[in-house]
Each structure stands twice: as structure tokens, then as C-alpha cells.
Chain A
């Protein structure tokens, strides 16, 4: 599985856009990029997944450049409730459910 690298922490104010960039230099052709969110005392929750270009859902957008060696999770207009740890993961189709979590990014949103 490709190793991921992301910032340890990010601070933001309410209403701002938060962009978290993840590096995955060794991503394989069949791998997907997926992001999870974890609040204290809860299990991780799926946010978004993509293979290339741009994916958007009601929660976030995911930008993946052509070389797929990095990706950026964009959280628009964050609120205090978006304070959480965000994990960038690479999923391989050979072991779909076996997720290798990195350290994650602690996002703190303040008023």
C-alpha cells in the first residue's frame, strides 16, 4: 500500500475554506484515494473518494492532479463542528477493506 504524508495539524476560522494536501508518491494504477473524518470518541467516517481529477459531494471536494501523486481535500466554509482528525488513505482494489491509516491531520476550527 502506498504511504501517505499529510500535515499534522491545521488551524482555521469559521467560514473559511480548509485545504488539506496529502502526498502519495507511490500510488499504483489501481489505487483509489479516500478520506475519512474522525471525531473524538467516534469511529472514522467516510468523507470522499476519487481516482483522478475532481470529485465533489455535499461535504467536500477532492482534487487529484494528473500524476496522482498528491491530492487535496477541500472543506468549504468550515464550522466549529468540522474540528476533527482527517485521514488520507490509499485503497487498493486487491485489499479493499484493509485500510492503512497514517497520522492524519488535526483540523481545529475556532470562532
Chain B
């Protein structure tokens, strides 16, 4: 199994600023992902964080808005850039195990 931690757990940010969310996995994993969960909604995949190369984004998400880094097999960051109130969501990091997908506790972001 893998245990995933995220920092910060929550934050309140002003419109127009950026926030970087960190994701740490307690073991090396092949694949890492970032999801968004808007209030009262289900999870939506933002991108695949590729180790050593540019992230792969899903339709509707772009690198300029959500730059992602993955410098090694246990760590990734997601930046939410130039934030607006519509970016208020929970952002979750995920990693693939042999059989199942593991999720972090999420980062609750509120943009005012």
C-alpha cells in the first residue's frame, strides 16, 4: 500500500494569486495524478504527472493554469495559477499501486 500526504491541507487565497500544493508518497510509484473535486461534486482528473517530463493534461485543463512538476518517483506539485473564485475546490493527489489507486486527503482551496 501507499500513504499519500498533501500540503497544505487547506488554504484561503486572494483572487489573482497562485498556490502550490505538494504531494508526497511514502513509496516509489510509477504513476501520479491530480484530481479536482468541486463543492458537492465528483472527482475530475486534471492531469497525469509524468516523472522527468511534462504533465499530460485532460480536456479543459491547461499547463499555464495548472503547472505540474514531478521531479522523482515519490513527489509532485500542482500549482493553481492566477486564481479566481471558480478555482475553489478540493485538489487531490493520487498514485497507482499494483492493484488499486491511492488518494491523498486533499487540499481544500478557497479563493476570495
Contacts of A43 in B (CB 8 A): 4, 92, 94, 103-106
- Which of B31, B42, B48, B102 is within 8 Å of A101, CB to CB? B42
For residues 79 through 112 of chain B, which have their beta carbon under 8 Å from a beta carbon of chain A?
92, 94-96, 99-106, 108
What's the minimum C-beta distance from B27 to chain A, rounded to whole angstroms? 15
Residue among A34, A36, A43 having the largest count of chain B Cβ atoms under 10 Å: A43
Residues of B within 8 A of A51 (CB): none
Expressed in whole angstroms, the Cα–Cα distance for A6 and B48 within the complex equals 27
| Chain A residues touching B, range | 10 to 19
Contact of B96 (CB < 8 Å), options: A42, A45, A96: A96
Number of A-B contacts (CB under 8 A): 48
| A87 shortest CB reach to chain B, Å | 7
Complex: A41 Cα to B106 Cα, angstroms: 7
Total residues of chain B contacting the partner, CB 8 A:
21
| Interchain CB contact under 8 A, A99 and B101 | yes
A10 in the interface, Cβ–Cβ < 8 Å?
Answer: no
| Cα-based distance from A98 to B103 in the complex (angstroms) | 12
Residues of B close to A34: CB separation below 8 A: 100
B44–chain A nearest beta-carbon distance, Å: 7
Residues on the B chain within 8 Å of A97, using CB: 31, 33, 48, 94-96, 101
Complex partner residue of B43 from A41, A42, A101, CB under 8 angstroms: A101
Interchain CB contact under 8 A, B105 and A101: no
Interface status of A28 (Cβ within 8 A of chain B)? no
Judge whether A102 and B104 touch: CB under 8 Å. no
Q: List 11 A-B contacts (CB under 8 A).
A: A36-B101, A41-B105, A42-B105, A42-B106, A43-B103, A45-B103, A46-B100, A46-B101, A96-B31, A99-B45, A99-B101
- 19 other contacts beyond A36-B101, A49-B100, A96-B96, with CB at 8 A cut-off? A41-B106, A43-B94, A43-B103, A43-B106, A44-B103, A45-B103, A46-B101, A87-B42, A97-B31, A97-B48, A97-B95, A98-B33, A98-B45, A99-B94, A100-B45, A101-B43, A101-B44, A103-B42, A104-B42
